[in-house]
Structure 1
Amino acid sequence: MTTRRDLLLQAAMLSALPGLGFAQTRGLTLPLEPTPPCGEQAVPTPEQTEGPYYTPQTPQKTQLREPGMAGIPLRIGGLVLSRRCRPVARVMVDVWHADANGQYDNAGYRLRGHQFSDADGRWQFETILPGLYPGRTRHIHVKLQPPRGDILTTQLYFPSEPGNARDGLFDRRLLVQMGGDDTAKIARYDFVLDID
């Protein structure tokens, strides 16, 4: 049942990020500050390895979750910003991750795809919460390619995961803001590119 508190939180997210449609996910409890902060003390989003399962030339799509696919639905999105907190449009955001069983599709493009940030720097994917890959904590791989500038390859992590403390690649600066419940999740991360 949707409570009054849920409706207020949904309205707050809509006003903060119009067009992302985050308010359609139940249990929304996300803070609205950029992650990581940008501005005078801006620190660009940290780079990380692409890992062994990157596949180039992914299809352009925002819907990665397929009908009947196992796993908890996840809506993930945010902004692509410059060091000065300006939105960066036309950035190719390419994502890939394991399925609910921790397996990567290395033959096709399941749970792989890209899109371009809009004029306000917004990006978003409908997918599932990644499963646990042996030896790693839960994560999503991301490549960002701006119209001008270098490609950023990194990974996003989820809060309160027991595997975070054991994963040698884990970086707290790459934690998404998370909300939702056991039936649907929502996550936000604002990338800061090393451009003006």
Structure 2
Amino acid sequence: MLDRGGLNRREILQKCLALGSITLIASSSRAAMLLAFEEKELRKPTPANELGPFYKKRAPETATLRAPGDPGMPLSVSGQILDTRGEKLPNVVVEVWQTDHLGHYDLDGYRYRAKLPADGSGNYKFESVMPGHYPDRVCQHIHYLVTAPGHKPLVTQLYFATDPVFEGDPDKNFNRDPLIHNRELVRPVMLVGDPKDIHAAVNFELCLERV
């Protein structure tokens, strides 16, 4: 993670050691101190979730899954992709796929499927609609496949705290969907805009584990 001056955690610690702001105990080497500091600061990788049967390769590179006039609640999803040390990851590719607002996957084409190259700071964003429910799954969700050089691929899913299945209490009811193993994947939903042009917005930060 970078501070406002552009230094990462290791560089900050090295600077503190050089200036005498931190004193090492006799039994600690500089390398051991740096390693212990970094391990203590590690983030947890984003929990994995099932790939599912509807993934398709060669999705189009676009951040606009929602076409003009598409029915359903407009949805904006954004986030940042980091590693477990909090470093921003460049050269990340995010693949997403979901149903339309009625719970139907496009199995013949690539509607509501996209490949999203993240920017140099690991940020991504796409425009879609709130996915619908369908008989084989309990909750609304969006599938993710995230890849970055030097990191383990992440297969996961995004869920929505506003899903009626949770009855307003995702902390208590998230496991009503047997495929949701971690509450962290259920994200808050903000409603933005005026009553005549309202849309949902969700932030979904992702953390990848190094190989």
TM-score normalised according to structure 1 size: 0.76
How many residues of Structure 1 are paired with residues of Structure 2 in the alignment?
158
Residues 56-75 of structure 1: matches in 2 within 5 Å? Answer: 56-75=57-76
**Alpha-carbon distance in 2 for matches of 1:103, 1:165:** 23
Q: Does structure 1 conserve the Cα–Cα contact (< 8 Å) formed by 2:92 and 2:117?
A: yes
Instruction: Give the aligned CA root-mean-square deviation in angstroms.
Output: 1.7
What do residues 126-163 of structure 1 show as CA deviations (whole Å, max 9, x unaligned)? 10111112232011000001022221111011013232
**Alpha-carbon distance in 1 for matches of 2:188, 2:88:** 19
Please state whether the residue corresponding to 1:127 is helix, strand or coil. strand
Counterpart AA for 1:92: V
Q: 2:191 aligns with which of 167, 171, 180?
A: 180
- Per the alignment, residue 50 of structure 2 pairs with 49
Please state whether the residue corresponding to 1:81 is helix, strand or coil. strand
What do residues 50-108 of structure 1 show as CA deviations (whole Å, max 9, x unaligned)? 11111111010000001221111101011000111111011110000010000000110
**Alpha-carbon distance in 1 for matches of 2:147, 2:78:** 16
Q: Does structure 1 conserve the Cα–Cα contact (< 8 Å) formed by 2:60 and 2:114?
A: yes
CA drift at 1:175: 1.9
**Alpha-carbon distance in 2 for matches of 1:114, 1:87:** 19
- Per the alignment, residue 151 of structure 1 pairs with 153
Greater length-normalized contact order (CA 8 Å, ≥ 6 residues apart): 1
In terms of Rg, which structure is larger? 2
Counterpart AA for 1:151: P
CA drift at 1:178: 1.8
Q: Does structure 2 conserve the Cα–Cα contact (< 8 Å) formed by 1:89 and 1:116?
A: no
- The percent of aligned pairs where both chains have the same amino acid is 35
Counterpart AA for 2:153: I
Q: Does structure 2 conserve the Cα–Cα contact (< 8 Å) formed by 1:177 and 1:189?
A: no
Please state whether the residue corresponding to 2:157 is helix, strand or coil. strand
What residue ranges of structure 1 are gaps of 5+ in the alignment? 1-38
What residue ranges of structure 2 are gaps of 5+ in the alignment? 1-39, 166-173
TM-score normalised according to structure 2 size: 0.71
Consecutive aligned runs of 4 or more in structure 1 exceeding 6 Å deviation: none
1:105 pairs with 2:106: yes
Which structure shows the bigger proportion of residues in helix conformation?
2
Residues 155-170 of structure 1: matches in 2 within 5 Å? Answer: 155-163=157-165, 164-170=174-180
